[in-house]
Structure formats: structure tokens, C-alpha cells
Amino acid sequence: MRTPSKSKLQMADIARLAGVSTATVSRALSGSKLVNDETRKRIEELAGSLEYTVNIGAKNLRSGDNRTIAVVIPYQSSARQTLCDPFFLSMIGELATVLTENDYEMLLSRVDENDMPTIGSLYTGGRAAGIIIIGQWHHHDDLNALAARGVPMVVWGSKLEQQVYCTVGSDNELGGLQATSHLIKLGTKKILFLGDVELPEVASRYKGYCKAHKKARLAVNPQLCLSVSFEAGLARQSIANHFSEEVNFDAVFASSDLLAVTAISALNELGIRVPEDIKVVGYDDIDMAQHYRPSLTTIRQPLELAGPEILSVLERQIRGERVVSSLLPTSLEIRESSGFEDGQHAG
């Protein structure tokens, strides 16, 4: 795949045209002070008009610098799902913005969950200065191994015990507490928790759910925890099955907005109204949450804080500093699905 067209312009060409050496061109173009202003100007104009750009690969190789950050999105090969959760998609958009603004390039990789152990090669192979992993899923051990090898990395997820790697995430336990307390205050007693508690982030949300019960001196009924996949397709069936059996709850706390929406659809199909019959709270505050009918009461994860924080932590790690995991605040966005008529947030 060698470039078939006319071979590209290189520094030597500019040097010849400007009547100087490549060293001078290099200096001029990298803003070094050790170049005569006139010479610099001539070179800059030449490079500009000829649309010459330095070869970044060669530059990196020689200088040892690297301003590329790899963003990894694990996926299950079994499901071969295309990336669909809007929250993760938004996260990618946010990261793209933040990295660009800070003069980094973003390498986006979807990797099969079975290949997780290999992603360190993005760093060891010199491809990227550091790695951002979106979602920790079931990869706790892989991630620990990676970190132990000294790969600069940040994981979007929950802080766990015995964790070598570093996470940035919203305070899932707080979020779970906020959501559940809100429902309890509204007078509901039997709150169904929806989500795959095998996932660390979801487990934390469930922990918050339990905490809220304790605070209100309510017992937690383990039967009210329905473990469904994060993936909407599979979840739908599972939810529908459960609901049709016996509706022994008066509220739902779903661990993602996608799940909340799926639940509401399933309920509606059974002739159950939200929020009149059953109140629902979601999680994430994706764009759809405001637009959906009923609009979704949900726990907002501060996406606009996440990008800068992730980068900041990663940068410190690249510099070799010791870093600690970071927790972002969540907030309750009250909308219609928990009983409010007004779509404005009031939380």
C-alpha cells in the first residue's frame, strides 16, 4: 500500500528550495528560537504554499514524543453488536473534543473482550502515549495486569478493592442512593432494581439502592433485583417476562436510561402506565431522557467533567506521577417518569 501517487514532499525538498539545510527547516518549522527571522519566514512561506507538513511518524520516531491517546471500547464478540449505548457514544464525542482541544490525536479502537490483554501493545508498540478504556465491564483482572505492566491508562468505571489501575467515574453509589431515596420519598415501597449487578458500576448503584433503604429503615427485598444485560435487545425479553408474571412492585430504578426506556415500553404493552401506576427512574441522563415521553427522571453523570478529568489523570500518569482514582458527582434530574408533569429539572 505504498502511496501510488507522486511521492510526497519532504523536508529535504523544502530545504533545497529555500537554499538551507534540513536542520534549519526543522528548526524553523518547530518554532525554535535559533533561526534567523528572515530565514524562518522564507521557509514558512515555502512550506505553506507547497502545503508541506512534517511526517509525524518520523518525527515521533526520532524525538520519542507521542501525542496520540488510544481510546478503547471493549465489546463482546458473541453479541457483535454495533456500539449502541448513547452514553458511551456521547463519551466518545466528549473525549474527541477534549483531546483535540489539548492537541492530542485520538486513536479509537474497538476491541473484542477476548483481546483485552493485548491492548497494552498500543502503548508498548509506541502507538499511543496512554490508553483510555471506556467501561470496565468484566475486565477487572485484565486491567490490573495491564496496569501492573506500567501502561499509562485510565478506566472509565467504578473504583474497586484491590485495584492497581486507576479509574475515573461518577459516584455510582451516590447516584443509586439519590435515585432510590427520591422514589422512597415519593412514597413507593417496592422498588425494582434493574441491571447486571455483575458489572462493578452497576453493583455500586445497587449498593446505593440498599443504602437508601437502610436510611429509610426499609428492608431490602433481594427478589426485587432483576439482573438484566446492559444490552437493550436481550434486556427487553427478560423484562417483559418478569413483568408479565406478577407485578409486585410500585417503582423501577433502572441502571441505565436505555433500560428505563425498555422497561417503560414493556410496562405500557401490559397496559401499565408510567408514572401513574409505576414510577421509573433511569441512569445516565442521555439526550433521549428529556425527549422521551414520559420524560425520564434520571441520575445525571457529568459528561462535561469526565473528559477533562480523564485526560488530566492520564497526563499525570504519563509523566510518571502517582495518581488516585477520581469520583465525579452525580445529580438527580427530576422529570415526568417519577411523577412530575413538568419537564424542567428541579433536582
Partner DNA sequence: CTGAAAGCGCTAACAC
Partner DNA sequence: GTGTTAGCGCTTTCAG
The answer for residues whose C-beta is within 8 angstroms of residue 271's C-beta and 6 or more apart is none
Q: Which does 270 bind (CB under 5 to 8 A by kind): a copy of itself, DNA, none?
A: none
Rounded distance between C-alpha atoms, residue 105 and residue 66, angstroms: 9
Of the ranges 62-70, 134-142, 229-237, 292-300, which one interacts with DNA (CB under 7 A)?
62-70
Rounded distance between C-alpha atoms, residue 288 and residue 117, angstroms: 34
Among 12, 50, 216, 346, binds DNA (CB under 7 A): 12
Q: Binding marks (x or -) toward a copy of itself, 87..126, rule CB under 8 A? A: --xx-xxx-xx--x----xxxxxxx--------xx--xxx
Q: Binding marks (x or -) toward a copy of itself, 15..44, rule CB under 8 A? A: ------------------------------
Question: What values do phi and psi take at 55, rounded to 5?
Answer: -75, 115
Q: How far is the CB of 8 from DNA (least distance, A)?
A: 7
Q: Smaller CB distance to a copy of itself: residue 147 or 212? A: 147
Instruction: Determine if 265 is a binding residue for a copy of itself (CB under 8 A).
Output: yes
Among 1, 4, 6, 7, binds DNA (CB under 7 A): 7
Q: Which residue has the cell 409505576?
A: 278
Q: Which does 313 bind (CB under 5 to 8 A by kind): DNA, a copy of itself, none?
A: none
The answer for residues whose C-beta is within 8 angstroms of residue 311's C-beta and 6 or more apart is 69, 95, 98, 99, 102, 104
Q: How far is the CB of 222 from a copy of itself (least distance, A)?
A: 30
Q: How far is the CB of 125 from a copy of itself (least distance, A)?
A: 4
Q: How far is the CB of 106 from a copy of itself (least distance, A)?
A: 5
Among 16, 19, 100, 101, binds DNA (CB under 7 A): 19
Rounded distance between C-alpha atoms, residue 153 and residue 174, angstroms: 25
Tell me 82's DSSP state.
Answer: P
Of the ranges 55-63, 90-98, 167-175, 234-242, which one interacts with DNA (CB under 7 A)?
55-63
Q: Which does 110 bind (CB under 5 to 8 A by kind): DNA, a copy of itself, none?
A: a copy of itself
Q: CB burial class (10 A; 0-12, 13-18, 19+) of residue 172?
A: buried
Question: What values do phi and psi take at 342, rounded to 5?
Answer: -90, 140
The answer for residues whose C-beta is within 8 angstroms of residue 170's C-beta and 6 or more apart is 301, 302, 306, 327, 328, 329, 330
